[in-house]
């Protein structure tokens, strides 16, 4: 049985979709005759088993947690808001311009020393690093100088050309330093895995075509027919300055003022981390306010019911020309078999391909008031007539057993 070490910052203790890629992949890979060790991070050092998988948790240092206190969760999760206070903006700028690749670099040497012994003790031959945070890759970059190990760097999100990174306002010199670090990761990796085809093109243009593979995320959500008596539009995830649905909110408010039938049946549910400016904008739309349900981010184990009770699922793509990410929630949305209203001002090849393949509507521009209104009106008519049914397709390629087989080919190549 081959030994495989996966280093990922997020695991079960984190309420984040970032954890789901490797929770699901590691479980499926363990069924393919791999002994899986997960190195993750928390508030204490401990080792425990999760079925056949060994979880090794190490305590690390992040100075910004002490400086930000209760606001550190938004800081970590990318809730970048144009209304942020000065302290928040200063710390964001300081983080991107003085910590390379990120603040968790302070713990890298300590983790390297720990893994130096573990690799020998467990006879580990392959390591997969999952970022962000990108300091994860720095760990194995150092270990490669000591051990003859195979390294697969898995980029769930981009590094240098990532809107969250660029939103922290790196200087020209800082961008150059980060670019050098990104280059060292790509050059030293034996294989590079990305989750978006545009990111694959970006890395290929840097000269790494022969070792880059595209492996999308997936979902283990199960669908049921929607039996809700309410016409519910639901959004799950982050709302920040890159995906600000003001016109969509205006449309909802206007429709509710014009349509008494819709007003009687409608609810707008938001689950997740929302920037303050959007919350305030939702509140001033008086017609919508009475039909608004704001809830915190919910764990994956509780996601199926609100997905399956929704009439429409709202997908907001980042309003940036560089479309080099594919939202994890899209895969959950697809396998839930619900209709999807996608807002985007720029072409995202992967999202467009998946929407078309699984019989969903094309994306609509954020500013297309009439297009948004038409989508909602037509969906509501079908809802009233009992015709807003599940969209059945063959979703097997979006399941992690299939995705793990593709990943196995990469590990063995």
Q: Which residue has the higher pLDDT, 327 or 65?
A: 327
pLDDT in tens, 66-90: 555 555 555 555 555 555 567 777 8
3-class DSSP state for residue 324? coil
Asked whether 161 and 136 are in contact (CB, 8 A), the reply is no
Specify whether the CB–CB gap between 217 and 197 falls below 8 A.
no
Give residues with Cβ within 8 angstroms of 297, minimum separation 6: 15, 16, 237, 271, 272, 273
Does the pLDDT value for residue 190 go beyond 80?
A: yes
Which pLDDT band holds residue 301 (cuts at 50, 70, 90)? Answer: confident
* Cα separation values, 336 from 95, 309, 317, 364, Å: 38, 10, 19, 21
**Angle 229-233-239 from CA coordinates, rounded to 5°:** 150
Residue 11's pLDDT is what? 86
What local confidence, expressed as pLDDT, does residue 81 receive? 56
What integer pLDDT is reported at residue 15 of this predicted model?
A: 61
Q: How confident is the model at residue 60 (pLDDT cuts 50, 70, 90)?
A: confident
Q: What is the C-alpha to C-alpha distance for residues 88 and 213, in angstroms, rounded to an integer?
A: 37
State how beta strands 53-59 and 46-50 pair. antiparallel
DSSP three-state, residue 388: coil
Domains and CATH numbers, the chain: 2-215 (3.40.50.2000), 231-384 (3.40.50.2000)
Q: What strand order describes the sheet that includes 312-316? A: 292-295, 266-271, 231-236, 312-316, 340-343
Helix count and strand count (H, E) for the chain = 18, 13
- 175-184, 259-268, 277-286, range with the lowest pLDDT: 277-286
CA distance 110 to 36: 22
Cβ-count burial of 281 within 10 angstroms (0-12 exposed, 13-18 middle, 19+ buried)? middle
Distance CA 216, CA 295 (A): 28
H helices of 204-245, where?
none
Q: Does pLDDT of 149 surpass 90?
A: yes
> Could you tell me the two tokens for 297?
């981010």
Q: For the chain, give the mean pLDDT.
A: 91
Q: Percent of the chain at pLDDT above 90?
A: 75
Residue linked to tokens 């954020």: 366
Give the residue-averaged pLDDT of 45-53: 93
Of the listed ranges 59-63, 106-110, 196-200, 346-350, the least confidently predicted one is: 59-63
Tokens of 137: 């890759």
Q: Is the pLDDT of residue 64 over 80?
A: no
- DSSP assignment letter at 361: P
User: Which pTM does this prediction carry?
Assistant: 0.93
pLDDT confidence of residue 13: 65
CA distance 139 to 188: 12
Q: In this predicted structure, what is the pLDDT of residue 168?
A: 84
Contact call for residues 266 and 260 (beta carbons, < 8 A): no
Residue ranges in 31-70 assigned as alpha helix (H): 63-68
Identify the weakest region by mean pLDDT among 288-302, 317-331, 342-356, 392-406.
288-302
pLDDT greater than 70 at residue 394:
yes
Residues 215-272 have pLDDT tens digits of: 999 999 999 998 899 999 999 998 988 898 999 999 999 999 999 999 999 999 999 8
What is 254-283 written as a DSSP string?
Answer: HHHHH-HHHHHHEEEEEES-B-HHHHHHHH
Average pLDDT over residues 377-388: 96
Secondary structure class of 50 (helix, strand, coil): strand
pLDDT of residue 80: 52
- Round to whole Å and give the CA distance between 149 and 189: 10
CA 64 – CA 103 distance, rounded (Å): 8
Q: Within 327-399, where are the H helices?
A: 328-335, 349-357, 369-384
- 64-68, 92-96, 155-159, 280-284: the lowest-pLDDT one: 64-68
**CB hemisphere CA count around 134 (13 angstroms):** 23
Burial class of residue 204 (count of CB atoms within 10 Å of its CB; 0-12, 13-18, 19+): middle
What is the reported pLDDT for 90? 81
The size of the chain, in residues, is 413
């Amino acid at each position: 049985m081959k030994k495989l070490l996966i280093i990922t910052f997020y695991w079960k203790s984190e309420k984040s979709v970032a954890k789901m890629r490797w929770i699901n992949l590691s479980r499926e890979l363990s069924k393919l005759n791999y002994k899986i060790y997960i190195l993750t991070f928390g508030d204490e050092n401990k080792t425990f088993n999760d079925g056949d998988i060994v979880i090794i948790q190490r305590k690390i240092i992040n100075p910004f947690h002490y400086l930000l206190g209760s606001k550190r969760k938004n800081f970590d999760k990318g809730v970048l808001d144009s209304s942020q206070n000065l302290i928040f903006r200063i710390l964001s700028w300081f983080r991107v311009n003085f910590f390379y690749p990120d603040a968790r670099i302070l713990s890298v040497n300590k983790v390297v020393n720990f893994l130096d012994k573990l690799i020998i003790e467990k006879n580990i031959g392959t390591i997969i690093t999952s970022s962000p945070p990108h300091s994860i890759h720095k760990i194995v970059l150092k270990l490669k100088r000591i051990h003859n190990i195979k390294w697969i760097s898995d980029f769930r999100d981009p590094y240098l050309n990532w809107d969250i990174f660029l939103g922290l306002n790196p200087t020209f010199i800082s961008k150059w330093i980060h670019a050098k670090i990104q280059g060292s990761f790509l050059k030293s990796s034996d294989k590079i895995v990305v989750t978006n085809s545009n990111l694959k093109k970006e890395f290929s243009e840097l000269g790494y075509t022969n070792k880059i593979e595209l492996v999308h995320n997936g979902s283990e959500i199960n669908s049921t027919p929607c039996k809700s008596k309410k016409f519910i539009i639901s959004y799950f995830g982050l709302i920040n300055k890159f995906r600000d649905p003001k016109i969509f909110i205006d449309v909802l408010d206007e429709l509710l003022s014009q349509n008494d039938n819709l007003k009687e049946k409608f609810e707008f549910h938001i689950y997740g981390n929302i920037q303050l400016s959007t919350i305030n904008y939702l509140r001033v739309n008086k017609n919508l306010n009475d039909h608004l349900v704001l809830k915190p981010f919910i764990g994956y184990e509780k996601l199926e019911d609100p997905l399956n009770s929704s009439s429409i699922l709202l997908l907001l793509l980042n309003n940036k020309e560089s479309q080099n990410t594919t939202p994890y929630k899209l895969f959950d949305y697809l396998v839930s078999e619900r209709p999807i209203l996608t807002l985007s001002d720029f072409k995202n090849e992967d999202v467009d391909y998946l929407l078309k393949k699984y019989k969903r509507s094309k994306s609509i521009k954020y500013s297309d008031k009439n297009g948004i209104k038409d989508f909602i009106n037509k969906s509501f008519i079908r809802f009233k007539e009992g015709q807003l049914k599940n969209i059945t397709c063959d979703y097997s390629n979006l399941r992690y057993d299939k995705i793990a087989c593709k990943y196995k080919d990469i590990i063995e190549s």
